[in-house]
A = this chain, B = another copy of it.
Amino acid sequence: MSNLKSREIRLKSRPASRPAGMPHEGNFELVQNEVAPPGPGEVLVRNIWMSVDPYMRGRMTDTPSYIAPFKLGETLEAEAIGRIIKSNTPELQPGDFVGSMLGFRELFSAPPSALEKIEPAEGVPIQAYLGPLGRAGLTAYVGLIKIGEMKPGETVFVSGAAGAVGSIACQIAKIHGCTVIGSAGSERKCAWLTEVGGIDRAINYKTVQDLTKAVRQAAPDGIDVYFENVGGAHLIAALANMNVKGRLAICGMISRYNGVTSDTPVPNIIMVLRKSLKMQGFLVGESWDLLPQFRTQMVAWARAGKMRWTETVVEGLENAPGAFLGLFSGENLGKMLVKIGPDDA
Protein backbone atom coordinates (compact mmCIF):
# COMPACT_ATOMS: atom_id res chain seq x y z
CA MET A 1 0.00 0.00 0.00
CA SER A 2 1.54 3.27 -1.08
CA ASN A 3 1.17 6.65 0.56
CA LEU A 4 -2.28 8.19 0.38
CA LYS A 5 -3.15 11.73 -0.63
CA SER A 6 -4.78 13.74 2.10
CA ARG A 7 -5.23 17.32 3.23
CA GLU A 8 -4.61 18.93 6.60
CA ILE A 9 -4.66 22.34 8.23
CA ARG A 10 -1.60 23.74 9.97
CA LEU A 11 -1.00 26.67 12.26
CA LYS A 12 0.74 29.23 10.07
CA SER A 13 0.98 32.06 12.57
CA ARG A 14 -0.34 32.99 15.98
CA PRO A 15 -2.96 35.70 16.47
CA ALA A 16 -1.45 39.10 17.24
CA SER A 17 -1.13 40.12 20.86
CA ARG A 18 -3.81 41.97 22.64
CA PRO A 19 -5.77 44.10 22.11
CA ALA A 20 -5.92 43.08 18.45
CA GLY A 21 -6.14 39.42 19.37
CA MET A 22 -8.84 38.19 17.01
CA PRO A 23 -7.57 35.20 15.00
CA HIS A 24 -8.12 35.29 11.24
CA GLU A 25 -7.92 33.04 8.18
CA GLY A 26 -4.27 33.95 7.63
CA ASN A 27 -3.31 32.14 10.83
CA PHE A 28 -4.22 28.85 9.11
CA GLU A 29 -2.78 27.01 6.14
CA LEU A 30 -4.41 24.25 4.11
CA VAL A 31 -1.75 21.76 2.97
CA GLN A 32 -1.84 18.75 0.62
CA ASN A 33 0.04 15.91 2.25
CA GLU A 34 0.62 12.20 2.04
CA VAL A 35 -0.23 9.74 4.75
CA ALA A 36 1.87 6.63 5.24
CA PRO A 37 -0.10 3.38 5.34
CA PRO A 38 -0.77 2.00 8.81
CA GLY A 39 2.14 0.15 10.38
CA PRO A 40 1.86 -3.14 12.26
CA GLY A 41 -0.90 -2.89 14.86
CA GLU A 42 -2.13 0.41 13.44
CA VAL A 43 -5.25 1.46 11.60
CA LEU A 44 -6.01 3.90 8.81
CA VAL A 45 -8.84 6.33 9.58
CA ARG A 46 -10.84 8.61 7.31
CA ASN A 47 -12.34 11.46 9.33
CA ILE A 48 -16.01 12.28 8.76
CA TRP A 49 -16.72 15.00 11.29
CA MET A 50 -14.62 17.35 13.31
CA SER A 51 -15.44 19.75 16.10
CA VAL A 52 -14.40 23.37 16.47
CA ASP A 53 -14.56 24.75 19.98
CA PRO A 54 -13.86 28.08 21.67
CA TYR A 55 -11.16 26.56 23.90
CA MET A 56 -8.95 26.10 20.84
CA ARG A 57 -8.36 29.84 20.87
CA GLY A 58 -6.17 29.31 23.92
CA ARG A 59 -4.07 26.72 22.11
CA MET A 60 -3.29 29.21 19.35
CA THR A 61 -1.36 31.33 21.84
CA ASP A 62 2.03 30.32 23.11
CA THR A 63 1.34 30.80 26.81
CA PRO A 64 1.31 28.21 29.58
CA SER A 65 -2.07 26.61 30.08
CA TYR A 66 -3.68 23.34 31.08
CA ILE A 67 -3.28 22.16 27.48
CA ALA A 68 -0.21 22.44 25.27
CA PRO A 69 -0.22 25.21 22.66
CA PHE A 70 -0.51 24.28 18.99
CA LYS A 71 2.90 24.31 17.35
CA LEU A 72 3.70 26.62 14.48
CA GLY A 73 3.84 24.79 11.17
CA GLU A 74 2.28 21.63 12.55
CA THR A 75 -1.12 20.08 11.98
CA LEU A 76 -3.78 21.44 14.33
CA GLU A 77 -5.73 19.17 16.64
CA ALA A 78 -9.44 18.88 17.28
CA GLU A 79 -11.90 16.25 18.32
CA ALA A 80 -12.98 14.21 15.33
CA ILE A 81 -14.96 11.14 14.43
CA GLY A 82 -13.95 8.91 11.55
CA ARG A 83 -14.18 5.36 10.31
CA ILE A 84 -11.56 2.68 9.99
CA ILE A 85 -10.73 2.04 6.35
CA LYS A 86 -7.84 -0.37 6.93
CA SER A 87 -6.88 -2.24 10.06
CA ASN A 88 -3.71 -4.09 11.05
CA THR A 89 -5.10 -5.01 14.45
CA PRO A 90 -7.93 -7.29 15.56
CA GLU A 91 -9.07 -4.60 18.02
CA LEU A 92 -10.72 -2.53 15.29
CA GLN A 93 -12.47 -3.48 12.07
CA PRO A 94 -12.99 -1.57 8.84
CA GLY A 95 -16.21 0.41 9.19
CA ASP A 96 -15.86 0.95 12.94
CA PHE A 97 -16.45 4.50 14.15
CA VAL A 98 -13.61 6.01 16.17
CA GLY A 99 -13.18 9.28 18.00
CA SER A 100 -9.81 11.00 18.33
CA MET A 101 -8.13 14.34 18.88
CA LEU A 102 -6.77 14.08 15.32
CA GLY A 103 -9.12 16.46 13.55
CA PHE A 104 -8.03 19.12 11.01
CA ARG A 105 -6.96 16.27 8.67
CA GLU A 106 -8.76 13.91 6.31
CA LEU A 107 -6.77 10.70 6.69
CA PHE A 108 -4.40 9.42 9.32
CA SER A 109 -2.76 6.26 10.57
CA ALA A 110 -2.65 5.63 14.29
CA PRO A 111 -2.48 2.91 16.92
CA PRO A 112 -5.73 2.00 18.73
CA SER A 113 -4.43 3.70 21.88
CA ALA A 114 -4.94 7.08 20.18
CA LEU A 115 -8.56 6.25 19.40
CA GLU A 116 -11.83 5.70 21.19
CA LYS A 117 -14.20 3.21 19.56
CA ILE A 118 -17.74 4.58 19.38
CA GLU A 119 -20.77 2.34 19.13
CA PRO A 120 -23.56 4.76 18.31
CA ALA A 121 -26.91 4.30 20.02
CA GLU A 122 -29.75 3.46 17.67
CA GLY A 123 -31.28 6.47 16.03
CA VAL A 124 -28.54 8.83 17.23
CA PRO A 125 -26.49 10.48 14.49
CA ILE A 126 -22.81 9.76 14.88
CA GLN A 127 -21.83 13.43 15.04
CA ALA A 128 -23.82 13.79 18.27
CA TYR A 129 -20.82 12.13 19.91
CA LEU A 130 -18.87 15.33 19.20
CA GLY A 131 -21.59 17.45 20.79
CA PRO A 132 -24.43 16.60 23.15
CA LEU A 133 -23.14 13.07 23.77
CA GLY A 134 -19.52 14.15 23.94
CA ARG A 135 -17.41 16.88 25.47
CA ALA A 136 -20.02 19.61 25.14
CA GLY A 137 -22.80 17.64 26.76
CA LEU A 138 -20.64 16.32 29.58
CA THR A 139 -19.38 19.84 30.20
CA ALA A 140 -22.94 21.07 30.66
CA TYR A 141 -23.72 18.17 32.98
CA VAL A 142 -20.61 18.53 35.14
CA GLY A 143 -20.95 22.30 35.33
CA LEU A 144 -24.50 22.16 36.63
CA ILE A 145 -24.38 19.08 38.84
CA LYS A 146 -20.85 18.88 40.21
CA ILE A 147 -19.69 22.50 40.13
CA GLY A 148 -23.03 24.32 40.28
CA GLU A 149 -24.58 21.92 42.82
CA MET A 150 -27.92 22.56 41.14
CA LYS A 151 -31.02 21.55 43.10
CA PRO A 152 -34.60 21.09 41.86
CA GLY A 153 -36.66 24.25 41.99
CA GLU A 154 -33.69 26.60 41.74
CA THR A 155 -33.28 29.32 39.15
CA VAL A 156 -30.51 28.76 36.63
CA PHE A 157 -29.09 31.38 34.29
CA VAL A 158 -27.10 30.16 31.29
CA SER A 159 -25.13 32.52 29.07
CA GLY A 160 -24.26 31.46 25.56
CA ALA A 161 -27.43 29.45 25.97
CA ALA A 162 -27.87 28.56 22.31
CA GLY A 163 -24.35 27.22 21.93
CA ALA A 164 -23.11 23.65 22.04
CA VAL A 165 -22.73 23.55 25.81
CA GLY A 166 -25.36 26.13 26.75
CA SER A 167 -28.21 24.54 24.84
CA ILE A 168 -27.65 21.24 26.63
CA ALA A 169 -27.17 22.94 30.01
CA CYS A 170 -30.53 24.68 29.64
CA GLN A 171 -32.33 21.41 29.05
CA ILE A 172 -30.54 19.47 31.78
CA ALA A 173 -31.61 22.22 34.19
CA LYS A 174 -35.23 22.00 32.97
CA ILE A 175 -35.19 18.21 33.36
CA HIS A 176 -34.06 18.76 36.96
CA GLY A 177 -37.07 20.96 37.69
CA CYS A 178 -35.33 24.32 37.58
CA THR A 179 -36.50 27.65 36.22
CA VAL A 180 -34.15 28.43 33.36
CA ILE A 181 -33.17 31.79 31.90
CA GLY A 182 -30.88 31.81 28.87
CA SER A 183 -29.09 34.55 26.98
CA ALA A 184 -28.15 34.44 23.31
CA GLY A 185 -27.20 36.86 20.56
CA SER A 186 -30.09 36.69 18.08
CA GLU A 187 -33.87 36.42 17.90
CA ARG A 188 -33.52 33.12 16.07
CA LYS A 189 -31.46 31.65 18.91
CA CYS A 190 -33.86 32.98 21.54
CA ALA A 191 -36.80 31.48 19.67
CA TRP A 192 -35.04 28.10 19.55
CA LEU A 193 -34.40 28.27 23.28
CA THR A 194 -38.00 28.90 24.29
CA GLU A 195 -39.75 26.95 21.52
CA VAL A 196 -37.47 23.94 21.13
CA GLY A 197 -35.26 23.99 24.18
CA GLY A 198 -38.25 24.67 26.42
CA ILE A 199 -36.59 27.22 28.72
CA ASP A 200 -38.62 29.74 30.66
CA ARG A 201 -37.22 33.03 29.40
CA ALA A 202 -34.62 33.96 26.78
CA ILE A 203 -32.71 37.25 26.68
CA ASN A 204 -31.29 38.62 23.43
CA TYR A 205 -28.29 40.35 24.96
CA LYS A 206 -27.60 42.27 21.76
CA THR A 207 -30.88 44.15 21.89
CA VAL A 208 -31.26 44.85 25.61
CA GLN A 209 -29.98 48.18 26.87
CA ASP A 210 -28.97 47.01 30.31
CA LEU A 211 -28.18 43.33 30.71
CA THR A 212 -28.19 43.48 34.51
CA LYS A 213 -31.71 44.88 34.47
CA ALA A 214 -32.83 42.40 31.83
CA VAL A 215 -31.64 39.51 33.97
CA ARG A 216 -33.40 40.98 37.00
CA GLN A 217 -36.65 41.15 35.06
CA ALA A 218 -36.22 37.63 33.74
CA ALA A 219 -35.30 36.24 37.17
CA PRO A 220 -37.09 38.45 39.71
CA ASP A 221 -36.40 35.97 42.52
CA GLY A 222 -32.69 35.93 41.74
CA ILE A 223 -30.29 33.34 40.35
CA ASP A 224 -29.08 30.30 42.26
CA VAL A 225 -26.79 28.82 39.60
CA TYR A 226 -25.04 30.75 36.85
CA PHE A 227 -23.55 28.74 34.02
CA GLU A 228 -20.91 31.05 32.55
CA ASN A 229 -19.90 30.78 28.91
CA VAL A 230 -19.44 34.42 27.99
CA GLY A 231 -17.81 36.65 30.64
CA GLY A 232 -17.71 40.45 30.74
CA ALA A 233 -21.12 42.11 31.00
CA HIS A 234 -22.75 38.72 31.46
CA LEU A 235 -20.69 37.98 34.54
CA ILE A 236 -21.41 41.43 35.94
CA ALA A 237 -25.14 40.91 35.39
CA ALA A 238 -25.04 37.48 36.98
CA LEU A 239 -23.11 38.67 40.06
CA ALA A 240 -25.62 41.49 40.52
CA ASN A 241 -28.53 39.05 40.42
CA MET A 242 -27.19 36.06 42.31
CA ASN A 243 -28.97 34.87 45.42
CA VAL A 244 -27.13 34.32 48.69
CA LYS A 245 -25.05 31.11 48.54
CA GLY A 246 -25.40 30.98 44.76
CA ARG A 247 -22.89 29.11 42.61
CA LEU A 248 -21.18 30.30 39.43
CA ALA A 249 -19.87 27.47 37.26
CA ILE A 250 -17.23 29.09 35.06
CA CYS A 251 -17.13 27.02 31.89
CA GLY A 252 -15.99 29.64 29.40
CA MET A 253 -15.65 33.38 28.80
CA ILE A 254 -15.77 33.58 25.04
CA SER A 255 -16.09 37.37 25.06
CA ARG A 256 -12.63 37.56 26.62
CA TYR A 257 -10.63 35.09 24.55
CA ASN A 258 -9.48 37.58 21.97
CA GLY A 259 -8.52 40.26 24.43
CA VAL A 260 -10.99 42.82 23.19
CA THR A 261 -10.24 45.93 25.21
CA SER A 262 -13.77 47.27 25.09
CA ASP A 263 -14.81 44.46 27.38
CA THR A 264 -15.37 45.86 30.85
CA PRO A 265 -13.43 44.65 33.87
CA VAL A 266 -15.66 43.29 36.63
CA PRO A 267 -16.50 46.00 39.19
CA ASN A 268 -18.80 43.93 41.42
CA ILE A 269 -16.70 40.97 42.46
CA ILE A 270 -17.47 42.05 46.02
CA MET A 271 -20.80 40.25 45.53
CA VAL A 272 -18.86 36.99 46.05
CA LEU A 273 -18.31 38.24 49.59
CA ARG A 274 -21.64 39.93 50.20
CA LYS A 275 -23.66 36.94 49.06
CA SER A 276 -21.34 34.09 50.09
CA LEU A 277 -21.07 32.96 46.48
CA LYS A 278 -18.96 30.15 45.11
CA MET A 279 -17.38 30.82 41.74
CA GLN A 280 -15.46 27.95 40.24
CA GLY A 281 -13.69 27.33 36.97
CA PHE A 282 -13.59 23.77 35.75
CA LEU A 283 -12.38 21.49 33.01
CA VAL A 284 -14.50 18.64 31.81
CA GLY A 285 -11.41 16.45 31.47
CA GLU A 286 -11.33 16.00 35.23
CA SER A 287 -14.74 14.35 35.08
CA TRP A 288 -14.17 12.23 32.00
CA ASP A 289 -14.97 9.07 33.99
CA LEU A 290 -18.61 10.22 34.07
CA LEU A 291 -18.91 10.05 30.27
CA PRO A 292 -20.39 6.53 29.91
CA GLN A 293 -23.14 7.05 32.47
CA PHE A 294 -23.80 10.51 31.10
CA ARG A 295 -24.22 9.14 27.57
CA THR A 296 -26.68 6.52 28.74
CA GLN A 297 -28.66 9.20 30.54
CA MET A 298 -28.65 11.58 27.57
CA VAL A 299 -29.83 8.90 25.13
CA ALA A 300 -32.69 8.09 27.51
CA TRP A 301 -33.64 11.78 27.79
CA ALA A 302 -33.49 12.20 24.01
CA ARG A 303 -35.70 9.14 23.44
CA ALA A 304 -38.19 10.46 26.01
CA GLY A 305 -38.41 13.71 24.03
CA LYS A 306 -36.87 15.71 26.88
CA MET A 307 -33.62 16.59 25.15
CA ARG A 308 -33.36 18.29 21.79
CA TRP A 309 -30.32 19.49 19.97
CA THR A 310 -29.36 21.19 16.80
CA GLU A 311 -26.09 21.72 15.01
CA THR A 312 -24.48 24.13 12.60
CA VAL A 313 -22.59 22.32 9.86
CA VAL A 314 -19.85 23.72 7.66
CA GLU A 315 -18.85 21.53 4.73
CA GLY A 316 -15.24 20.76 3.81
CA LEU A 317 -11.95 20.70 5.66
CA GLU A 318 -10.91 23.89 3.86
CA ASN A 319 -13.70 25.70 5.70
CA ALA A 320 -12.73 24.51 9.19
CA PRO A 321 -10.85 27.74 10.04
CA GLY A 322 -13.90 29.77 9.04
CA ALA A 323 -16.12 27.57 11.18
CA PHE A 324 -13.79 28.11 14.14
CA LEU A 325 -13.71 31.88 13.60
CA GLY A 326 -17.50 31.88 13.34
CA LEU A 327 -17.73 30.80 16.99
CA PHE A 328 -16.56 34.24 18.05
CA SER A 329 -19.20 36.04 16.02
CA GLY A 330 -21.89 33.70 17.28
CA GLU A 331 -22.65 32.07 13.93
CA ASN A 332 -23.54 28.74 15.48
CA LEU A 333 -26.83 27.53 16.85
CA GLY A 334 -25.95 24.40 18.82
CA LYS A 335 -22.73 22.55 18.08
CA MET A 336 -20.52 23.93 15.32
CA LEU A 337 -19.31 20.98 13.23
CA VAL A 338 -17.22 20.55 10.11
CA LYS A 339 -18.06 17.72 7.73
CA ILE A 340 -14.72 16.62 6.32
CA GLY A 341 -15.44 13.23 4.76
CA PRO A 342 -18.17 10.94 3.48
CA ASP A 343 -20.29 8.94 5.91
CA ASP A 344 -19.37 5.60 4.38
CA ALA A 345 -15.91 4.28 5.02
Known contacts A265-B264, A265-B265, A253 near B270 by CB under 8 Å: yes
The reply to whether A280 and B277 contact each other, CB–CB distance below 8 Å, is: yes
A45 to B274 alpha-carbon distance, docked (Å): 33
Q: Count A-side interface residues using an 8 Å CB cutoff.
A: 31
- Per-residue 0/1 for A55-66: is the Cβ within 8 Å of any B Cβ (1 yes, 0 no)? 000100000011
Which residue in chain B gives the minimum CB-CB distance to A279?
B279
A176 within 8 A of B: no
Taking the closest CB of chain B, its distance from the CB of A230, in whole angstroms, is 11
A222 vs chain B, min Cβ distance (A): 11
* One of B235, B256, B278, B281 near A275 (C-beta < 8 A): B281
User: Are B283 and A280 interface neighbours, CB within 8 A?
Assistant: no
Contact with B along A219-233 (1 / 0, CB 8 A): 000000000100100
Task: Pick from B66, B250, B265, B286: contact of A272, CB below 8 A.
Answer: B250
- Asked if A269 is at the interface of the complex by the 8 Å CB criterion, the answer is yes
Most central of A267, A274, A277 by chain B CB within 10 Å: A274
- Measured in the bound complex, the distance between the Cα atoms of B66 and A250 in whole Å is 25
Q: Does A244 have its Cβ within 8 Å of any Cβ on chain B?
A: yes
Q: How many copies does the complex hold?
A: 2
Inter-subunit contact B274/A282 (CB<8 Å): no
CA of A280 to CA of B58, assembled, Å = 26
Docked Cα-Cα span, A281 to B65, in Å, equals: 26
Indicate if the CB atoms of A235 and B269 lie closer than 8 Å: yes
Task: Tell whether, in the assembled complex, residue A278 and residue B279 are in contact, meaning their CB atoms are under 8 Å apart.
Answer: yes
Give the residues in chain B near A277, CB-CB below 8 Å. 280-281
Residue-wise, chain A 248-275 has the 8 Å CB interface mask toward B (1 for contact) of 0011110010000000111101101111
A263-307 toward B: CB 8 Å interface, digit per residue (1/0)?
Answer: 011110110111111111111001000000000000000000000
A278 to chain B minimum Cβ distance, whole angstroms, is: 4
Name the CB-closest residue of B to A263. Answer: B267
4 cross-chain pairs, A with B, having the tightest CB-CB distances, nearest first: A265-B265, A265-B267, A273-B281, A272-B281
27 contacts between A and B (CB under 8 A): A58-B274, A65-B274, A66-B275, A66-B276, A231-B273, A235-B269, A250-B272, A253-B273, A256-B270, A265-B265, A265-B267, A265-B269, A266-B266, A269-B269, A272-B279, A272-B280, A272-B281, A273-B281, A276-B280, A276-B283, A276-B286, A277-B281, A278-B278, A278-B279, A278-B280, A278-B281, A280-B280
